Amino acid sequence: MTAADADAPAFSASCRLAGAAATDAFARALAPRLGAGDTLLLGGPIGAGKTAFARALIEARGVAEDVPSPTFTLVQTYHAEGLEIWHCDLYRVTRPDDVLELGLDEAFDDALCLVEWPDRLGDLAPADALRLDFALVGGDPDARELTASGPARWSWVGTLMAEGPAHG
Ligand SMILES: Nc1ncnc2c1ncn2[C@@H]1O[C@H](COP(=O)(O)OP(=O)(O)OP(=O)(O)O)[C@@H](O)[C@H]1O
Ligand SMILES: [Mg+2]
């Protein structure tokens, strides 16, 4: 096995999210299968739909309160029927130490963590996280291309994408 093979994700799948409703549907389908210790790294440019996805997922876990973007607070936490959920936007984070000060390293073990701008984590990103990259699609302002990748334990996400609540 070469070094490049070792770095390649064991699982990778893509699908088209035709509109915001499809992104919501995918988040709702994923939500019941996630738990404490799971981390989702939400990649993609400004306006790609990272917060829209996180909001739908958090609401699907029974959180009735508002789910604002953590743009300024960096972290919003929720208690959802025994599960702690951390929703983070690390855009403004410049040093890995800031991540430690937020307590994210412990949250990775104890909570379900949804992390926007995960490149800011550097080496602190959990190795067993699921990565979801949202890409804008030229010519269609409502469409997104979603690529999911990660270790083999997440391969069921590819099945979910192929089955298609995300195609709506
Ligand atoms: N298919 C889609 N999926 C998700 N959002 C969509 C889609 N089509 C259009 N949108 C719109 O795109 C916007 C996405 O905004 P959102 O705040 O979720 O982006 P973001 O990736 O979190 O950006 P930021 O990096 O600024 O935090 C929303 O206004 C949403 O309604
Ligand atoms: Mg956002």
167 vs 129, residue with greater confidence? 129
pLDDT of 137-146, one tens digit each?
999 999 999 9
Question: pTM for this structure?
Answer: 0.94
Nearest-angstrom CA–CA distance, 21 and 34 = 20
pLDDT, tens digit, for every residue of 97-132? 899 999 999 999 999 999 999 999 999 999 999 999
Check residues 11 and 9 and name the one with the higher pLDDT. Answer: 11
What is the residue extent of each domain of the chain? 21-157
State CA 99 to chain mean position distance.
17
Neighbours of 47 (CB within 10 A): 12
CA distance 118 to 91: 8
**Tens digits of residue pLDDT in 44-98:** 999 999 999 999 999 999 999 999 999 999 999 999 988 999 999 999 999 888 9
Pocket of ligand 1 contains residue 42 by CB under 6 Å: no
Amino acid type, 104: L
Reply yes or no on whether the pLDDT at 5 is more than 80: no
120 close to ligand 1 (CB < 6 Angstrom): no
Side by side, which strands form the sheet with 39-43?
11-17, 144-150, 130-136, 39-43, 112-116, 83-89, 75-80
For the CA of 117, the closest atom of ligand 1 is 25
CATH of 21-157, one of 3.40.50.261, 3.40.50.620, 3.20.20.140, 3.40.50.300: 3.40.50.300
Query: Atom 24 (ligand 1): residue with closest C-alpha?
Result: 46
User: Measuring CA to CA, which residue among 140, 137, 156, 139 is closest to residue 148?
Assistant: 156
The whole-number pLDDT of residue 9 equals: 78
